[in-house]
Amino acid sequence: MKKYRSVTTCWLLYLFAGLGLVNGESLYSEEAYQSLVSDRKAYKVGDLLTVLVIETARAESRAGTGSEKNTGIRASAMDSISSHEAGLALGVASGGDAVTSRHGFISAQLAVRVISIDESGLLNVSGEQSIVINGEEQKIVISGSLRKEDVNKDNTIISSRLTNAHIEFSGDGVVNDAQDTSIFYKILQWLGIS
């Protein structure tokens, strides 16, 4: 029994002495920590977030010109019985107004992926979506950079918060083909006739 106690005591001493030498590391990593009860927000490469595209663009340009020039000659002759007058007037006037106007609006939601993080901490994102409706393909492409703090609680960001944003909306199909000008019109335009 005494031998059993001394072996147990030695093991206990060895165990307690060894605990002081053990160097434990925490399972907690501050860089990768995300609370289990917090909202999931994009913060690293490969994460997804939703861009709410609400863009309105309007441009208008106006120009007007005008000029006027008048020239006149007048002559008169008189004698004792009658008087005669003759006159010639020439006038030229020109004027022109031009207005160019363009208006565009797009509203969409698109999932994008964080493709890199630059040295200042901005998330570089990119994504595209293709939709086919009745044989018409519409494609939306978005890329840009954003700050982590601009991502909303529901993991969305509005497109106006993207920096260096590239938003492209294009279509291909019957409607798009109908909007193209014909080759004859292009030739007439090149010749300056149209």
Stretch 178-182: mean pLDDT: 62
Q: Give the Cα separation of 148 and 155 in Å (integer).
A: 10
pLDDT of residue 36: 62
- Token pair, residue 48, equals 């997804």
The yes-or-no verdict on residue 143 having pLDDT over 70 is: yes
In order of 89, 90, 160, the CA distances from 77 in angstroms are 18, 21, 79
Does 10 score more than 70 pLDDT? no
Select from 155, 117, 104, 111 the least CA-distant residue to 129. Answer: 111
Where is mean pLDDT largest: 53-62, 80-89, 116-125?
Answer: 116-125
Q: Which of 124, 118, 127 is nearest to 51 (CA)?
A: 127
Per-range mean pLDDT, top range of 12-21, 79-88, 98-107: 98-107
State the pLDDT confidence band at 122, using cuts at 50, 70 and 90. very high
pLDDT cut 90: percent of the chain above it: 28
Residue 183 pLDDT more than 70?
yes
pLDDT range class, residue 16, cuts 50, 70, 90: low
Residue range 146-176, pLDDT digits in tens: 999 999 989 999 999 999 999 998 877 655 5
Which whole number is the average pLDDT over 11-22?
59
Q: Residue 104 contacts by C-beta under 8 Å, 6 or more apart in sequence?
A: 55, 56, 57, 58
Full-prediction pTM beyond 0.75? no
Distance of CA 12 to the CA centre of its chain: 68
- The mean per-residue pLDDT over the stretch 13-23 comes to 58
* Strand bridging mode 136-146 / 156-158: unpaired
Looking at residue 110, what is its pLDDT? Answer: 92
